[in-house]
Structure 1
Amino acid sequence: MEEKMEPVSRREGIALLAGFALAAAHQYLFYGNGFGVSVPIFVILFYLYIYVFAKGRLRRPITWFDWLAFAAVLLLSMTFVLFANPLFFALNLLALPCLILLHTTYLLDSERRSWSDPRLIIGALDHLIPQCLRHFGTVFALAGSLTFRKLEEGRRKMLGKVLIGLAFSMPLLMIVISLLSSADGRFDRILTAIPDWLSRHITWEDGLFRLIWIILLGILLFGYLWGFVNPWRYEPQTGANGGNGVPPGGGVDEKIDIRFDPVITATVLISVNIVYLAFVSLQFTYLFGAWRGVLPEGSTYAEYARSGFLELVAVTAINFAILIGTLVFGGEAGTLLRRLNRAMLYILVVCSCIMLVSAYTRLVLYEQAYGYTYIRFLVHAFMIFLGVLLLCAGLRIRYEAVPLGKCFIVIGLVAYVAVNYANMDRFIAAKNIEHYADEGRIDSSYLTGLSADALPMLLSFSREHAPDLNRELRERWQHLRVDDRGWPGFNAAKHRALQALKQK
């Protein structure tokens, strides 16, 4: 392929300098400070940088999804300020940059793809690596154009005279400063304090590392920006036979359309539905009767709650895959066969929902017996999420115009942000405290491992009811008292935890 790029304009210089300024802000916010309020500040600065220099590339008009994605980015960035859960901290370190990459590609890419188009991922990767790296040459071209060698003859001579004047003034300044320092002790202390402050805060190795950080990140930020402003365009090569790129065989690649035969689909659906209907009808009495004490013969509550839970969730996920595969890849069929398949899909959705509710019930029973943990909370969230997707797929059976892909993207984005803001640690702590009130026992070893989000509640509870837990919590979080991170690393959850630790 041949690659063409528009001529370099004078506007790049300002964008490059702004990129270095943004990189300088990045190293100031994050170097030695960790992640906290620094994250949303940098995200806002990054979007401002993109908007100022690439606003001409923004797709018009701005839609509701653009604002939804931007709100999701801001809300996820704020989780580094508001919460301290280590699991979501790690997930968001990956999810936030990926979401920003996809969002900016959707807004600025010249292809103007739909936000539900899977090729948007390919476009994002293209801008992240090839488009960004190809503009490294633009950076070096700009660096050459900004040197004094490109200045006019008169300005070059003036710059030379200034440098000569500075060279002559250096020994004179050393003598004058030495005399003034001897004459006034306060002046001498001020001058001495400057290198002392620098040596305490920035060492030679530290300063070099910061400089390299700024240069490399500034180049990358500019390259990423300019990949949208002035993208490299691909043009098809002519074929070896002198044609326009058509393969020698003479055929043009056709889009492969995968469709399931409706008769095969009906057979599969009828087979699995017979099994599911038999399962539901035979066990319906105790699928939902556990609350009233109706259990399988010889089973305790704990055994019932534990048995079959994962299997039910797995079967529901398989049913969901069958449902989506049939809706997306189902072939054309006659009226009778189409109605039959639709009825089978409805039965599949109903049976899946029954199994999902059964699994949910078993998990609730298990939590009432053994308490609440991260895994159990996340499984709860996943089952609710899967249930919403099933309902959405059920609507798609009735209304073919329902865009499944777009619905799933929006639901997934909203669900991920919601589970971040559910404050999982605090919820688990509250439920385990309720469990203590009912059962009289609490898992101290697990609760001490929760994040700072739950610490104020646990300290308040343990002061009166669990002195051993209170002591363990204070030992576990003693390091918060000596945390010397700067203001960019401020985290509201850890601040509240520190204030709780100070209370006796």
Structure 2
Amino acid sequence: MAGLRVEEPAPVRTATLWAALATGVLSMLLLGEGLAVNLLLVAIPAALAAYFAAQDAGRLPRAWTLVWGIGGLALLAVPALRDADWPSFLAVVTAIALGSLALHGGRRWPAVLLGPIGLFNALVTGPIWGWQGLRERSGGARGRVGPVLRALAVTAVLLLVFGALFAGADAAFADLLGDLVPDASVSGGPWRVLLLALGVVGALAAAHTAASPVQWDRVEVPEGRARGRVEWALPLIVLTVLFAAFNAVQLAVLFGGYDAVLKETGQTYAEYARQGFWQLLMVTLLTLLVIVFALRWAPREGARDRTLVRAVLGTLCALALVVVASAVRRMDMYVEAYGLTRLRVSVVAVELWLGLVIVLIMAAGVWGARWLPRAVAASAAAGVLAFGLLSPDGLIAERNVQRYEDTGRFDLAYARDLSADAVPALDKLKEPLRSCALRSIADDLANDPGPWYATSWGEARARDILRDRPLSKDANWDVCSRVGDDVTYR
């Protein structure tokens, strides 16, 4: 990996060290009680540390660097908005991947796929680089470091003494101070120290990567051996004919032939949908894999070969889009019968994204593929961001409440496992079903609320709703035990 670096980073600058220290302090104070807007607050000084280091190394931010950086920070807003853990986790992981792209740069597939490896490697080299810079500064500037440390100590003492006196003099000010100032109790000392260290190390790793990135675009991926036209095209043409035959049946069903098909098969709508969705999802994935290998082994001797490749793969991609539409329609049928769940909404989102990737591949066949790796990465990040902002748990609750209003059927057990993001939708139910559905969520929220920086907007909104409309006391265990999937009252 050392051979892929342009040069070793210059000595760390003072602004970078201060930004890394700010990252560590904010991590220590804000990250010990959950993730919400605090994660975004910690990421800002870490981004500044990387910016200062890149600036010192002569690296100017480019358009794609800003896209990746702003996109990563936007993804960190998902935990601040949503109470559900699963979209927040996906957003954080994607934000790390985008941060790696912003730090390393690059436009080819190795840069998109291997970037995080360089970032994790910097977790070792970054702190060493920072420590060396700190020793150089402290050794030659003891006269400047001492006054700064004394000023910080005096400031801390003044804030502690006068803050305690003002809090004791006025209860309202004490409450305000308790809401604004993080808890820094001694009981969590070791955990806080660990968070401080992790924050500093993470910021220095990002800064070191920005100052001396790994040039993943230098990784040479050898081209596959070009095949003859017949050897290459015959299997793909046969596969295309198979796709066309399947899609002909799907189009017939799509335009009103469900009753005939179901009559012949003896299946219900739900059985028909469940039988085919997972197979069609696998077909989409395998089609992308076939396209990758087909491009690697495609004949490329002249214009006729390029025309052949575009015609065959373009047709296959177009037919694959019909498969995507069929898979999404089957899942919609299944949801109509059994309701929406986290697994179902997730796989539909993945299927739609795979369809978008196929469209991007078709566009690359017309306008060239240099932009394709970054476009695929950007589409994945945009999809994860949209997924989090749309609130999957809220969407699931809304769809299932609508299903209950249409059919009188409601999966109460599943609704109880949703997060606080589902409260606005479940609040629309009539009693006693409303209170039965919200009981578990209300019990989770009944605990002492966390500080403002560790409380998501979804959780805060749910608390407001439950405070304004308390649960019915009549919705006890006996009543709720009789409410299940076959409820018919409205």
Normalised to the residue count of structure 2, the TM-score between the two structures is 0.75
CA deviation profile, 1:359-408 (whole Å, cap 9, x unmatched)? 22211111111111112212222222222222222233444467432332
Q: Which residue does 1:225 correspond to in 2?
A: 207
Superposed, 1:150-165 pairs within 5 Å as none
State the alpha-carbon separation in 2 of the partners of residues 120 and 102 from structure 1.
7
Equivalent residue, structure 2, for 1:55: 55
Name the CA distance, whole Å, in 1 between partners of 2:183 and 2:68.
39
Q: What's the offset of the Cα at 1:89? A: 2.0
Q: Aligned partners of 2:224 and 2:256: how far apart in 1?
A: 44
CA contact (8 A) 1:24 1:214 kept: yes
Q: Does 1:476 align with 2:458?
A: no
Query: Is the CA contact (8 Å cut-off) linking 1:79 and 1:420 kept in structure 2?
Result: yes
Q: Deviations over 1:286-344 (max 9, x none)?
A: 35435666535023222222222211221232223223433354221455555444333
1:24 is displaced (CA, Å) by 1.0
**Aligned 1:237-316 pairs, distance under 5 A:** 256-261=222-227, 262-281=229-248, 284-290=251-257, 295=262, 297=264, 298-316=266-284
Aligned-partner Cα distance in 2 for 1:331–1:488:
57
Q: Give the one of 434, 452, 458 matched to 1:493.
A: 458
Q: Does the Cα contact within 8 Å between 1:40 and 1:74 map onto a contact in 2? A: yes
Q: How many residues align?
A: 431
Q: Structure 1's 41 and 275: CA in aligned 2 closer, same or farther, altered over 3 A?
A: same
CA distance in 1 between counterparts of 2:305 and 2:50 reads 53
Residue 382 in structure 1 maps to residue 382 in structure 2: no
Native 8 Å contact 1:393 1:404 kept in 2 = yes
The CA distance in 2 between the partners of 1:13 and 1:341, in whole Å, is 55
SS of 1:450 mapped into structure 2: coil
Q: CA deviation at 1:20?
A: 2.2
Identity across the alignment (%) = 24
Aligned counterparts of 1:356 and 1:151: Cα–Cα separation in 2: 66
Tell me how far apart the structure 2 counterparts of residues 102 and 266 of structure 1 sit (CA, whole Å).
Answer: 36
**Cα distance, 1:365–1:345 mapped onto 2, change above 3 Å:** same
The residue aligned with 2:29 is 28
Counterpart for residue 488 of structure 2? none
CA-to-aligned-CA distance 1:86-106 (integer Å, 9 cap, x gap)? 211222332223322332232
**Aligned partner letter, 1:408:** V
The offset of 1:275, in angstroms, is 2.4
Residue equivalent to 1:37: 37
Measure, in 1, the Cα distance between the counterparts of 2:234 and 2:447.
67
CA contact (8 A) 2:20 2:200 kept: yes
Q: Which residue of 2 aligns with 1:422?
A: 390
Q: Which of 415, 421, 428 is the matching residue for 1:453?
A: 421
- 2:85 counterpart residue number: 86
Q: Structure 1 residues 290, 383: CA separation in 2 closer, same or farther (over 3 Å shift)?
A: farther
Q: Which amino acid aligns with 2:345?
A: F
Residue type of the partner of 1:443? D
Structure 1: 5+ residue runs without aligned partners? 107-113, 163-185, 191-196, 235-252
Residue 118 (structure 1) aligns with: 110
Distance 1:6 1:254 in 2: 24
Deviations 1:2-35 (A, max 9, x none): 9996785xx745543442233112211112x211
Does the CA contact (< 8 Å) of 1:453 and 1:493 recur in 2? yes
* Residue in 2 that maps onto 1:170: none
Change in 2 beyond 3 A, CA 1:49/1:366? same
Does the 8 A contact of 1:105 with 1:124 survive in 2?
no
Structure 2: give runs of 5+ residues left out of the alignment: 151-164, 170-177, 471-490
8 Å Cα contact 2:36/2:453 also seen in 1: yes
Deviates more, 1:471-480 or 1:288-297: 288-297
Residues 334-353 of structure 1 correspond to what in structure 2 (within 5 A)?
338-353=306-321
Range moving further from structure 2, 488-497 or 331-340: 331-340
Output the amino acid matched with 2:290: I
Superposed CA offset, 1:188-233 (max 9, x none): x99xxxxxx9xx965555345534543564355335424544x499
Deviations 1:134-179 (A, max 9, x none): 652651573476269x868xx9xx99xx9xxxxxxxxxxxxxxxxx
Q: Which has the larger radius of gyration?
A: 1
| One of 176, 180, 188 as aligned partner of 1:206 | 188
Letter in 1 for 2:456: N
Amino acid at match of 1:320: L
Change (3 A) 1:435 1:260: farther
Please give the alpha-carbon distance, in whole angstroms, between the structure 1 residues aligned to 2:401 and 2:301.
Answer: 57
1:39 Cα offset (Å): 1.4
CA–CA separation in structure 2 for the residues paired with 1:5 and 1:265: 46
**Partner amino acid for 2:448?**
D
Aligned residue for 1:110? none
Q: Contact (CA 8 Å) 1:73, 1:99: kept in 2 or not?
A: yes
Between the aligned partners of 1:374 and 1:352, the Cα distance in structure 2 is 25
State the TM-score, normalizing by the size of structure 1: 0.74
